[in-house]
Amino acid sequence: MAKLTVVSGQGGKLPAAFLLEMHGRRILLDLGEGPQPGVKPALSDVGPVDAICLSHAHIDHVGSLDLAGQLGNPPVYATDRTFSQISEAVLPLERRRELPVSGEAEIAGLPVIVGRNGHAPGGIWLHFAGHGGVLYMGDWSAESLLLPFDWPPAAGCLVTDASYGDFEESLSSQVETIAAFAAAGAVLCVPAGGRGPEMMLALSGLGLKATPCPVVRQEMERLAGDDSGMIDAESRAGIAALLQSMPTRNEWSPTQVIVATEANAETGLAAQLLRRRAEGFRFLFSGHVPTQTPAWEMLQRDEARWLRWNVHPRLQDTMDLVTRTGAEKVVAAFVRPEEMLRLRQWLGARLYLERIISLPVDRDQSLKAAE
């Protein structure tokens, strides 16, 4: 019997791990940790798998790769850009299997279509044929000003990022609000491999001169030279022009607009400047803030500002995805039930809250040879 099992990722902001069993193969979709530090999926009942697929390199999707021994140390499939963000000590080269950023591929003998997810460099969604079609979105955004999003094909079963629940504000509106706050000088904290280059490009478009930390600058350099199709030529040229206009060294000042890792000022330049906040540095956070992090503590004391920068789908985006794919079974991942009341009402019987979802009988005999 073909089925999808939610190992982790349903009911709140939890690490991603979903087990797909079809055509005689067992595929684990993502293996994350957090975003609350130390929170990992329970794998004791999963057993050996034929492959692990990674949607992108953020910690809540890859942070538990150290547990792969419990799954038989299977090969891991991801894009080259995703692999470049994962240490060889965590994932040896011999277990890596490269996927394209878009197009057709094969995972453990199963045909798959992949496409760009608009969320992170190297990030993809995965569509498995047969049994009505199974689509795993991981995290995604249709709004990114830098990273393209490819709309996926039809699928009967859909696992989708619904992190923002019923939230509807557009990214374009948020960019203007953040630019207004940052104009007098601010440290804009971002995750590595995330929104940093996009933020640099967008603020520049509004005439605001921003300076990246070394990590974000390196990410911009990689994107400027990326000809894999992850970003378009116009965006590459825009980033290259920004890089040419920047000084190679910086004496960080509270009057600068600084785009810096890490997202919650745990490490990196953000943490260094946090220790210098008495000099007048202002901090802005724009993503999920786990409790007990420096960002959370500052926000509790009203010593920093939080303004969202969309990197996940809004309510209408999620509804558009469900409509376009025609999905009849939908897992709304990474969101608490109370944050998606309107989405729940709209989905109705299509929303699956069960941990195990049975997939329909596959009438395509060409895909059943392995079963």
Domains of the chain: 3-166+311-362 (3.60.15.10), 171-306 (3.40.50.10890)
According to the model, what pLDDT value does residue 370 have? 46
First to last CA, the chain: 9
Residue type, 76: V
According to the model, what pLDDT value does residue 229 have? 84
Phi/psi at 335 (nearest 5 deg)?
-145, 140
> How would you label 281-310 residue by residue, b for 16+ Cβ within 10 Å and e otherwise?
bbbbbbbbbbeebbbbebbeeeebbeebbb
pTM: 0.93
According to the model, what pLDDT value does residue 364 have? 56
Per-residue pLDDT of the chain (371 residues; tens, 9 = 90+): 799 999 999 999 999 999 999 999 999 999 999 988 899 999 999 999 999 999 999 999 999 999 999 999 999 999 999 999 999 999 999 999 999 999 999 999 999 999 999 999 999 999 999 888 999 999 999 999 999 999 999 999 999 999 999 999 999 999 999 999 999 999 999 999 889 999 999 999 999 999 999 999 999 999 999 888 888 888 999 999 999 988 877 889 999 999 999 999 999 999 999 999 999 999 999 999 999 999 999 999 999 999 999 999 999 999 999 999 999 999 999 999 999 999 999 999 999 999 999 998 776 544 444 44
According to the model, what pLDDT value does residue 251 have? 87
CA–CA dist 24, 162 (Å, integer) = 29
According to the model, what pLDDT value does residue 194 have? 86
CA–CA dist 331, 14 (Å, integer) = 14
Residue 114 carries which DSSP code?
Answer: E
- Token pair, residue 149, equals 């999003």
Residue 244 carries which DSSP code?
Answer: H
Q: Mind listing the pLDDT tens digit for each residue in 291-339? A: 999 999 999 999 999 999 999 999 999 999 999 999 999 999 999 999 9
201-206 CB contacts, 8 Å cutoff, 24+ apart: 201/145, 201/146, 201/235, 201/238, 201/239, 201/242, 202/145, 202/146, 202/175, 203/175, 203/178, 203/179, 203/257, 203/259, 204/238, 204/242, 206/175, 206/176, 206/179
According to the model, what pLDDT value does residue 259 have? 97
According to the model, what pLDDT value does residue 363 have? 62
